[in-house]
Structure 1
């Protein structure tokens, strides 16, 4: 699954960067989403595979904090990118004449950079707060990666401040992007209902199909992890839900976009034909 995820996301990045037909804001965000998915899964799965091969489940304190830092950063940037993609579709469908003016290259790059910078500092705040906590020697985390919530549960000192900051940050950084996605699609549906041509409606909304599938997968599996960790104390069920969120979702995203999007299909076909025709 890890190799399939790496290959799929690398192909999406190569197709977007090498094909002039895909040099548009929607595909710029898509290539960034593939890069984030690649980084996200590479933060935890290689370590897990090494542990399985060596039959040793140790992770050092520094490695654990590093993993928690990058997991939190990549998950939140992934969330922001899905919101940017929804906004891109909103502008393309509701304001087509101003699309190139609004979604210019500088604006798109600025959005991505701001999301990276914001999450670098937010994740750093979490890690600095974790450094205040104390842990017993040989602490066992009943999970296959070091998440902030899992680290808080095994600390031997008071984690009230850490939990407050985590819940506030998760709420703010989760609710605002989700609100942006819902607002964008509310405006898109309102605009489509005003169209008289059914063919025009289908063509306009078909560009949103892949994004809607990815959003449903991302938030559906994320909600599954949250509900499992809150409702049940079973670490096994929580880990199974986490596998869906952290491993299965990044693997499926490239397939969703390549199978549902004719432009991406064409770009991948041209990329593979060039690769096979080279001596």
Structure 2
């Protein structure tokens, strides 16, 4: 079994690695921000902008992009089967983590995350540019195939709430029902506050150090083990719109080697807006009603 150190090297790159590989023709460096205007104020040389709303979502339905849209995006970005794709962004890599999860879910073989994201690049005083970068090459993108086992739907969530591990990675205030969403994101709300009955609350940012980098893998293993998670049992993560839960998916599945981890990308904005869905409030996990089938 691959050890934690080897997993970390395969998943994360640091700012020094990126700085040393900026001229590597196989590197595709992608910035994903909550506020795309940050990219135009200055970004790592060679980085291309990926827009969370326009590029990583279906333009009409509340859903992932389809395979054709994903291939068109990969072609636009100059991604080939031999590319090393590195995501980074603001907010300690919230949306960069979603991009990582999405590209991995569609079968891209070498996707990595810049540990510490945009914050770490700037803190280290590394160069920024306002030049808008295009791809080094076009054509040759692989055919995307969605790995459904990385994604959870409502029925999967109901089953996990009863007999698996369902993890709500939002803030305690969102989990308890005090907030519909974090105050700085008023447009990303559901109709009702609270959490899915049976879910335990392990906020995503417990995995992040003050400098924005992920905590050492041994500390992460202890954190999630102490919360009751077991590496060989099924885990489903969710948040509000699927981006923070993608971050925890990376930690559990790719860094710690949990075998069966799925991201419920519909998350609370789906569950908390649908008629008839059971909701728990307060700090207690609650229990999924026995007669609820989803």
When the two structures are superposed, what TM-score results if normalisation uses the length of structure 1?
0.25
Q: Tell me which protein shows more strand as a share of its residues.
A: 2
TM-score, scaled relative to structure 2? 0.24
**RCO comparison, higher one (Cα < 8 Å, 6+):** 1
